[in-house]
Structure 1
Amino acid sequence: MTGKVYLIGAGPGDLDMLTLKAARCLKLADVALVDDLVHPDIRAMLRPDAEIVPVGKRGGCPSTPQAAIEQRMIDEARAGKTVARLKGGDPFVFGRGGEEMLTLQAAGIEVEIVNGLSAGLAVPATLGIPLTHRSFVHGVTFVSGHPHQDGDEPNWQALAQSGMTLVIYMGVKRLPLIRAELLRHGLAADTPAAAIENGTLPQQRQVLSTLGALEQDMSAAGIHSPALIVIGPTVALASCSPSALERSEAPLQGKGGGIGNEPKWLPTELAQ
């Protein structure tokens, strides 16, 4: 009898942000293929007899080939096992869950998607950054800063002119190009911007800046991957939230000036 695969989102990092459904499905697994960014304590939620297979995938580091991951899931399911494919964030938001679902379905394997809280939603909130606010932006765009192997780039011109909050995953290494493209296509250099490393975890670190100065401020603060980049007017609201002091030992840095100090680009409505 063929087994089943659960594509499970483990959330942004904080163990408390794992969903109840994800925790329940983990108990069903005979074998778990676990991504590198998944909180290590989540493994304790698996059955003691479950086999754990690390399949780390992190930018700039050796990674398990995607084809090998998919083949392992197929082999385990055909052996009658229940498989948990555990991914950071949400499997359908830059998690290659769509690719894995189609491959498994083509092989005749039953698949169930278990959504997780994506970093793009959860991480900005740790600093009090709303992704939308009807007084400032009418939407949000999630975009990968790491192009597909065929080299296709996001439409930076459209993004620069969209008037939306930009949440950029996997963009640290290519920030010089991203910054240059957004500026070239008309996004103002003084647009508020933030970079948040290890978001939602105790070791979270962040820098508040502007698009024009973000690269320099990140370098000065030592912000590295894994980090999320957020660009748009609502980033200016970050200093209104005291939660950053609870989330991290590191203060807010850069052009924002830190908690309790209004950034020079704080919207007029909120500076009064």
Structure 2
Amino acid sequence: MVDEGARRHGWGSTRWYETSPTDSGREAAQAARADGADVILIAGGDGTVRAVADVVRGTGIPVALLPFGTGNLLARNLGAPRNDLTASVAAAFSGSSRAVDVGVAELRDETGSAHTHAFVVMAGMGLDADMAKTTSALAKKHLGWLAYVSPIATSICKNRRFLLRFRVDHGPVMTARAHTVIVGNCGTLTGNMLLLPAARVDDGKLDVVMMRPAGRLGWTRIGSRLTLQGWARRSRLSRTLLSYAGDLRALAYTQGSVFEAAFDEPREIQLDGDGFGAVTRVKISVLPGALLIRST
């Protein structure tokens, strides 16, 4: 279908680069970049997109999304086709390029070792990082989002908070205790739940939310609020209900270009659904418009 789409829209021959169990796309992207690719079609989920974006950000080489992952959150937030391969291929060869922001996470572990990675959807510590660590690729492949039920339930039942010292845009250092911290470039989750209402993929900013639920009832309130926020984008009644709901103390939001945090003990971190181990310090910044994505 890809070769046919290229011919139909007057493109030259295509080249194929395989990923592997040990490489989610970085080496394939490096090979495609070295070969002078005009556009890179990414067949996979958010983790594969993240690996490719880490290589091609800032190069001017556009990418196109062929969503085959578990969540496909970037495609969901962009309004790109998610269940129509023909439309996705057509966008790759006949669409226009849209510039979106890329997050860059500088991670430091307890040994002092530092490494840097890009992401396009969300970075997280807490619930989502636990999900990334304990959910196998095989389970995600066969069960989809059902594979996350067990780690979500375990994390909610334990409801353990951690201490962090953080600052936004080089402002004053603040201290907080949270169960989960998310730094996002996109706001919508599966099921149309809206985690970060102010997030835009091309606004040059990062959105941060700290989840601080008081027990299981607190998690119920968070789930209800995220669902209502998702509905509010489509329903006038939901927007009215949300306007009367007031702020939820269990959700603390902020926004900026740089987010820095240090933890009282090593915390697991995930980037776009991939686990990157335990860290003691993070510095997350944004590169405005660093990735070009083909869209209709």
- Same fold? TM cut 0.5: no
Of structures 1 and 2, the one scoring higher in RCO (CA 8 A, sep 6+) is 2
**TM-score, length-scaled by structure 1:** 0.31
TM-score (normalised: structure 2): 0.29
Q: Which has the higher strand share?
A: 2
